[in-house]
């Protein structure tokens, strides 16, 4: 964290309002021109700060980009937003048929369809968020080349816009629970936190991959593989209780999605795999991904406009 690209000096308060607060008058009539805002533009080296405050100033842009993604996503598709449901739902049907009925994989005493669907809903959110954000920078090349804004806005909005799809798929999940007569426990109040954990994981990976994608277009071809491998490394088609050793199960939490999925099942379906130490490991891993991803992203940021 040596030199920053830009040091924001003097009276930050004026920057709160984007509409220029200093009234713009001809210099002659201006009594004591005191610029409210000063930037120094100079070369940066090595690791740079995250500049979270600036990110916060650009929250409206984040809102608009997310809103655009949501609006545009299912334009000119026949089924429209139904796609948000079709993807996890039919995966569930296939899983139930092969893993549940044929392979007879245990499901912690829960009907297999709902067991797998409760996992597929957060998983789909994660997987889509990861792949959308990985390709987000390359897709926004013309913005990056023409306008300045904190580039982190782009992968973040790509993940955030997936929340709408998640909500749609989640409604179906509630419907299925109703059909199976499963009443969620009080633990549902933890769901937002679990969703946040999935969000953090997706964004952490997304920041790494999107910044790498600018340099190496290989990433685009890697993501589908990665998603597939990751899915089988996560207890979606099977319960993590297959691992009997407690220590090993905790270590399994290094995959943050393990914590998310088992957490979802615990909160909604009351499985007895109360996450405990596993979710702590998952959270730590997710935060590590997020922080390292953000710094890597910021470090590579200065090359984006020239390379993308």
Partner 1 sequence: MSNIAIRVEGLGKMYRIGGKQERYRTLRDTLTDAFTAPFRRASSLLRGQAYGAANLNETIWALKDVSFEVKHGEVVGIIGRNGAGKSTLLKILSRITEPTEGYADVYGRVGSLLEVGTGFHPELTGRENIYLNGAILGMSRAEIDRKFDEIVAFAEIEKFIDTPVKHYSSGMGLRLGFAVAAHLEPEILVVDEVLAVGDAQFQKKCLGKMSEVAGEGRTVLFVSHNMDAVATLCSRAFVFDAGARVFGGSSSEAIDFYYDSIFGRTKKQSHIVFEQPATLQHTATITRIEILDVHRNPVSAIHTWDEVVFRIQYAAIDRIEKGSIILDIRDRKDQRLLVMDSGLKVPIRKGVHQIDCVVSRMPLASGEYFLSAGIAVSNSQWIWREPHVGFLQIVGQDVFGIGRPPAYSRMMFAVEHRWVDSSGDHTAPVK
Where does this chain bind partner 1 (CB under 8 A)? 5-6, 15, 17-20, 22, 24-27, 30, 32-44, 60-61, 63-65, 67-68, 71-72, 75-76, 142-149, 214-218, 302-303, 305-308
Looking at the Cβ atoms of 149 and 296, the one nearer to partner 1 is: 149
Question: Which 8-state DSSP code applies to residue 208?
Answer: H
H-type alpha helices, 147-245: 153-160, 162-180, 191-215, 218-232
Work out how close the CB of 160 gets to partner 1 at its nearest, in angstroms, rounded to a whole number: 15
Work out how close the CB of 304 gets to partner 1 at its nearest, in angstroms, rounded to a whole number: 9
Residue 159 near residue 203 (C-beta atoms within 8 A): yes
Compute CA distances 239 → 49, 129, 181, 195, 275, whole Å: 41, 23, 21, 19, 12
Cα 223 to Cα 136: distance, rounded to the nearest angstrom: 13
Looking at the Cβ atoms of 185 and 303, the one nearer to partner 1 is: 303
Cα 166 to Cα 168: distance, rounded to the nearest angstrom: 5
Residue 153 near residue 116 (C-beta atoms within 8 A): no
Looking at the Cβ atoms of 34 and 53, the one nearer to partner 1 is: 34
Work out how close the CB of 100 gets to partner 1 at its nearest, in angstroms, rounded to a whole number: 39
Helix axis angle for 191-215 and 162-180, nearest 10°, is 140
Cα 94 to Cα 57: distance, rounded to the nearest angstrom: 45
Looking at the Cβ atoms of 249 and 298, the one nearer to partner 1 is: 298
Cα 115 to Cα 101: distance, rounded to the nearest angstrom: 13
Residue 172 near residue 100 (C-beta atoms within 8 A): no
Work out how close the CB of 139 gets to partner 1 at its nearest, in angstroms, rounded to a whole number: 12
Work out how close the CB of 264 gets to partner 1 at its nearest, in angstroms, rounded to a whole number: 33
Looking at the Cβ atoms of 22 and 185, the one nearer to partner 1 is: 22
Work out how close the CB of 46 gets to partner 1 at its nearest, in angstroms, rounded to a whole number: 13
Work out how close the CB of 308 gets to partner 1 at its nearest, in angstroms, rounded to a whole number: 7
Residue 273 sits at φ, ψ, to 5 deg, of -90, 55
């Amino acid at each position: 964290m040596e030199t920053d690209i830009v040091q924001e000096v003097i009276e930050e308060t004026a920057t709160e309002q984007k509409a220029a607060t200093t009234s713009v008058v001809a210099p002659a009539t201006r009594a004591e021109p005191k610029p409210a805002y000063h930037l120094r533009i100079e070369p940066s080296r090595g690791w740079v700060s995250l500049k979270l405050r600036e990110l916060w100033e650009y929250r409206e842009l984040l809102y608009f980009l997310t809103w655009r993604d949501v609006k545009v996503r299912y334009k000119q598709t026949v089924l429209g937003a139904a796609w948000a449901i079709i993807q996890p739902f039919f995966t569930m049907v296939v899983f139930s048929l092969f893993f549940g009925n044929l392979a007879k994989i245990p499901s912690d005493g829960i009907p297999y369809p709902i067991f797998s669907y409760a996992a597929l809903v957060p998983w789909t959110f994660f997987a889509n968020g990861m792949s959308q954000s990985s390709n987000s920078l390359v897709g926004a090349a013309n913005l990056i080349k023409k306008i300045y804004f904190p580039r982190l806005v782009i992968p973040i909005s790509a993940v955030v816009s997936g929340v709408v799809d998640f909500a749609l798929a989640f409604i179906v999940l509630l419907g299925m629970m109703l059909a199976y007569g499963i009443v969620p426990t009080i633990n549902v109040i933890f769901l937002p936190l679990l969703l946040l954990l999935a969000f953090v994981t997706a964004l952490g990976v997304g920041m790494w991959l999107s910044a790498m994608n600018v340099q190496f277009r290989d990433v685009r071809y890697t993501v589908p593989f990665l998603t597939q491998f990751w899915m089988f490394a996560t207890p979606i088609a099977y319960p993590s209780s297959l691992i009997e050793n407690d220590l090993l199960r905790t270590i399994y939490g290094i995959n943050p999605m393990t914590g998310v999925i088992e957490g979802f099942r615990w909160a909604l379906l009351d499985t007895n795999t109360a996450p405990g130490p596993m979710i702590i490991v998952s959270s730590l891993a997710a935060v590590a991904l997020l922080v390292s991803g953000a710094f890597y992203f910021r470090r590579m940021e200065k090359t984006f406009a020239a390379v993308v």
